[in-house]
């Protein structure tokens, strides 16, 4: 399967590149200005010092040898902190367990593999198709492909017109009725994004508003609960083509649910404030188009999922990272709540958003860099130049806008006042979230350099008293040099917002189940970093680029069962009969008194009070949530 071929190496490879692009950092200063003409490729390397082999260029310049990645143009980033004084020897390759290669352009090889998955879904006009694999929808009849006991429908459009040409930076259009019959065999193009993450190596285009549906091949009489997955990627990367987001294994194990995966506009195509520009009044929604795309997909699901055997009145949103930010934000988006009743947020909250002032500042910087004054000027900019300029200029600064229109100015206040109290929530974080970013940025040294700069930026709006509190937390952390930074930024980005979301929902009288994922990767320094839970949650144990190993299968299956049970009933608890290990799992609601969370430990899933687990420092970091994460 394609997932087995590629996923284990490419997730590590691409996030090294992504983080290098995000933070504009190079581990080895002397290679900043090197280009491929100066370099000779020698072999495969260990990425980030871990034991997961990924193919990348190994090169020599001026008698010194360094490990780093190449594209067909320039060096993007240097992930491994290792410089040698001489050309690598056979003994070095044997020691590092690397194999010599013949090319200096492995990225192109990987792109070729990923793009081999592409195909164009065509209209079927001769009536020759398997009627048992066809589902009639408002905008056409779509024919899927069956593999074993699962039918996948890929590349179904959920809009009437794709957002190209004059529709760039415009709200998505409703589908129009169509009696045609169409193939749904292939993933549609990925959204426009920098070429780094696996989905970005696939074909890209602004015509990207499509979704996939995974269902079991059975004749169930009852309507099935529906899970809608929204991918992460810092609102700038990602796509449904990623093998990690192939839900075949998940649905094969859980045939009583249907899963839908959704693509949406990313980066400056999905989140760019334009209304303040001279001709910007015609683009009132540009700052939150990615959320509006997701909403339009939810509407399509509501209107069409019954044809696939799904229950339109029992839909759960599920997302991770920026996807977690998306699904929690959707609960606050005007007009969206009618389309779902539950939310599962993995390492993501409404804190992953920005203010109007931040959004306008980003647009102004982009306009100046491109020499543009109006939206009309922007429309004339080459799409690749727009992507590359925005990516270099606005790393980790593009996100949904708290505009007071689509999203409330203060999401925490809205949740506390009961805006989402009728929605069931399940959410949580990993024990060592920021370790993932530390590893993928090249290790402690480059991470500490970045973190020191960002820490100063985060402290800037704080009062003297608040800075003293945050510094008190920072200085209290013992251990390696990176640990105060990883712990502080885990609090800012993930832990404190997660706990605050639980607190505010509980204050409003709503249902909230909270977890703390503690299983550790076998890769050095990764620990229980951001995203390491996903292979277990989706039943992809072979995709070990971040985990380094397959997590215990009984544990993994139990987590999946709890999440599925939540999507069915609004309660993730399992009876002994339902639990894979034969032991009941009682998951308590988070409340203001005991603040209980479910600890997802590999060999001991159990509830604990937050006061025992210490996910947040109530005095010294909880207040940071008022500054949000971006």
Task: Report pLDDT digits (tens) over 351-408.
Answer: 999 999 999 999 999 999 999 999 999 999 999 999 999 999 998 899 999 999 999 9
70 pLDDT higher than 60? no
How far apart CA 229 and CA 213 sit, in angstroms, is 10
Backbone φ/ψ region at 295: left (φ over 0), alpha (ψ -120 to 50), beta: alpha
Q: What is the mean pLDDT of residues 181-200?
A: 95
Q: What is the mean pLDDT of residues 262-282?
A: 98
Question: Considering the chain, what percentage of its residues have pLDDT values greater than 70?
Answer: 83
Confidence of residue 92 (pLDDT cuts 50, 70, 90): very low
How far apart CA 137 and CA 420 sit, in angstroms, is 30
How far apart CA 515 and CA 430 sit, in angstroms, is 9
What's the whole-number average pLDDT of the chain?
A: 86
Inter-residue contact 597 to 615 (CB < 8 Å): yes
How far apart CA 93 and CA 97 sit, in angstroms, is 6
- Fold identical between 117-409 and 427-627? yes
Inter-residue contact 618 to 568 (CB < 8 Å): no
Catalytic residue positions, numbered: 321, 433
| Unique residue bearing structure tokens 């937050």 | 610
Closest CA to 20 of 363, 446, 399: 446
| pLDDT per position as a tens digit, 577-606 | 999 999 999 999 999 999 999 999 999 999
pLDDT at 228: 98
How far apart CA 365 and CA 381 sit, in angstroms, is 15
How far apart CA 490 and CA 577 sit, in angstroms, is 37
Q: What is the DSSP letter of 221?
A: S
Inter-residue contact 140 to 153 (CB < 8 Å): no
**Higher per-residue confidence, 5 vs 99:** 99
Q: Is 281 helix (H, G, I), strand (E, B) or coil?
A: helix
Closest CA to 197 of 23, 10, 3, 389: 10
Our measurement of the distance from residue 4's CA atom to the centroid of its chain's CA atoms, rounded to an integer in Å, reads 20
Inter-residue contact 439 to 433 (CB < 8 Å): no
Distances (CA, A) of 51 to 391, 523, 570: 30, 6, 40
What's the N-to-C CA distance of the chain in angstroms?
38
pLDDT at 284: 97
Q: What is the mean pLDDT of residues 330-342?
A: 96
How far apart CA 209 and CA 24 sit, in angstroms, is 30
Q: What is the DSSP letter of 374?
A: S
Closest CA to 513 of 559, 544, 479, 579: 559
CATH classification (class only), 117-409: alpha beta
Inter-residue contact 489 to 503 (CB < 8 Å): no
> How many helices, marked H, and strands, marked E, lie in the chain?
19, 22
| Unique residue bearing structure tokens 């990367």 | 237
Question: Considering the chain, what percentage of its residues have pLDDT values greater than 90?
Answer: 79
DSSP per residue, 141-178: EEE-EEETTEEEEEEEE-SSS-S-GGGTTSPPPPP---
pLDDT at 222: 86
How far apart CA 537 and CA 559 sit, in angstroms, is 7
25 pLDDT higher than 80? no
How far apart CA 509 and CA 517 sit, in angstroms, is 25
Our measurement of the distance from residue 15's CA atom to the centroid of its chain's CA atoms, rounded to an integer in Å, reads 12
CATH classification (class only), 427-627: alpha beta
Structure tokens at 154: 């890929």
Which of 26-40, 140-154, 265-279, 325-339 shows the lowest per-residue confidence on average (mean pLDDT)?
26-40
Structure tokens at 286: 């540009």
pLDDT at 64: 39
How far apart CA 273 and CA 289 sit, in angstroms, is 10
Q: E-assigned strands of 461-546?
A: 512-517
> C-alpha angle 240/168/349, rounded to 5°?
50
pLDDT at 545: 87
| Unique residue bearing structure tokens 């980030």 | 48
Structure tokens at 35: 């280009």
Q: Mean pLDDT: which of 14-28, 111-125, 503-517 is highest?
A: 503-517
616 pLDDT higher than 80? yes
Confidence of residue 264 (pLDDT cuts 50, 70, 90): very high
Go through 4-24 and write b for each residue having 16 or more CB atoms within 10 A of its CB, e for each that does not: eebbbbbbbbbbbbbbbbbbe
Q: Structural domain boundaries of the chain?
A: 2-112, 117-409, 427-627
| Unique residue bearing structure tokens 């980003």 | 362
Which of 43-47, 65-69, 251-255 shows the lowest per-residue confidence on average (mean pLDDT)?
43-47
101 pLDDT higher than 50? no
């Amino acid at each position: 399967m394609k997932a087995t071929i590629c996923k284990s190496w490419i997730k590590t490879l691409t996030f090294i590149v992504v983080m290098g692009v995000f933070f504009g950092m190079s581990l080895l200063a002397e290679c900043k200005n090197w280009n491929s003409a100066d370099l000779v490729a020698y072999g495969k390397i260990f990425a980030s010092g871990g034991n997961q082999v990924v193919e990348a260029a190994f090169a020599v310049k001026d008698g010194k040898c360094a490990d780093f990645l190449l594209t067909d143009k320039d060096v993007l980033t240097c992930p491994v902190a290792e410089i040698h004084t001489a050309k690598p020897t056979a003994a070095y390759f044997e020691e590092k367990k690397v194999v010599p290669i013949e090319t200096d352009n492995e990225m192109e090889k990987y792109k070729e593999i990923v793009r081999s998955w592409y195909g164009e879904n065509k209209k079927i006009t001769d009536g020759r198709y398997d009627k048992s694999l066809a589902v009639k929808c408002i905008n056409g009849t779509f024919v899927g492909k069956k593999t074993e006991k699962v039918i996948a429908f890929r590349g179904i459009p959920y809009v009437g017109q794709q957002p190209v040409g004059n529709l760039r930076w415009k709200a998505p259009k409703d589908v129009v009725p169509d009696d045609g019959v169409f193939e749904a065999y292939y993933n549609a193009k990925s959204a426009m994004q920098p070429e780094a993450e696996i989905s970005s190596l696939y074909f890209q285009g602004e015509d990207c508003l499509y979704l996939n549906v995974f269902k079991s091949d059975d004749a169930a009489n009852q309507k099935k609960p529906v899970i809608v997955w929204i991918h992460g990627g810092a609102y700038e990367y990602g796509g449904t083509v990623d093998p990690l987001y192939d839900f075949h294994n998940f649905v094969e194990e859980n045939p009583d649910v249907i899963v839908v995966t959704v693509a949406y506009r990313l980066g400056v195509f999905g989140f760019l404030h334009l209304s303040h520009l001279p001709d910007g009044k015609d683009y009132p929604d540009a700052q939150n188009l990615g959320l509006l795309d997701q909403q339009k997909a939810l509407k399509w699901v509501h209107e069409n999922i019954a044809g696939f055997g799904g229950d339109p009145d029992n839909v759960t949103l599920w997302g991770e990272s920026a996807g977690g930010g998306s699904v929690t934000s959707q609960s606050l988006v005007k007009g969206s709540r009618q389309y779902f009743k539950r939310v599962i947020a993995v390492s993501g909250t409404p804190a992953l958003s920005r203010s109007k002032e931040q959004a306008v500042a980003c647009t102004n910087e982009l306009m100046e860099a491109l020499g543009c004054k109006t939206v009309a000027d922007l429309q004339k900019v080459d799409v690749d130049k727009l992507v590359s300029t925005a990516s270099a200029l606005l790393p980790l600064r593009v996100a949904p806008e708290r505009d007071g229109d689509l999203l409330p100015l203060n999401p925490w206040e809205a949740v506390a006042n009961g805006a989402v109290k009728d929605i069931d929530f399940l959410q949580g974080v990993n024990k060592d979230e920021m370790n993932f970013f530390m590893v993928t940025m090249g290790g402690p040294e480059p991470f500490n350099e970045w973190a020191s700069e960002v820490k100063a930026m985060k402290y800037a709006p704080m009062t003297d008293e608040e800075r003293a509190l945050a510094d008190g937390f920072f200085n209290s952390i013992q251990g390696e040099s990176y640990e105060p930074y990883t712990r502080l930024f885990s609090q800012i980005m993930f832990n404190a917002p997660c706990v605050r979301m639980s607190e505010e929902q509980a204050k409003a009288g709503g249902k909230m189940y909270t977890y703390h994922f503690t299983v550790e990767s076998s890769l050095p320094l990764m620990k229980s970093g951001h995203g390491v839970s996903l292979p277990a949650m989706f039943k992809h144990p072979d995709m070990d680029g971040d985990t380094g190993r397959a997590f215990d299968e009984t544990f993994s299956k139990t987590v999946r069962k709890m999440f599925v049970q939540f999507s069915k009933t609004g309660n993730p608890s399992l009876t002994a009969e339902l639990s894979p290990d034969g032991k009941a799992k009682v998951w308590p609601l988070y409340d203001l008194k005991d603040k209980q969370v479910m600890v997802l430990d590999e060999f001991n899933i159990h509830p604990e009070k937050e006061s025992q687990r210490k996910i947040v420092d109530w005095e010294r970091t909880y207040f940071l949530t008022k500054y949000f994460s971006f």
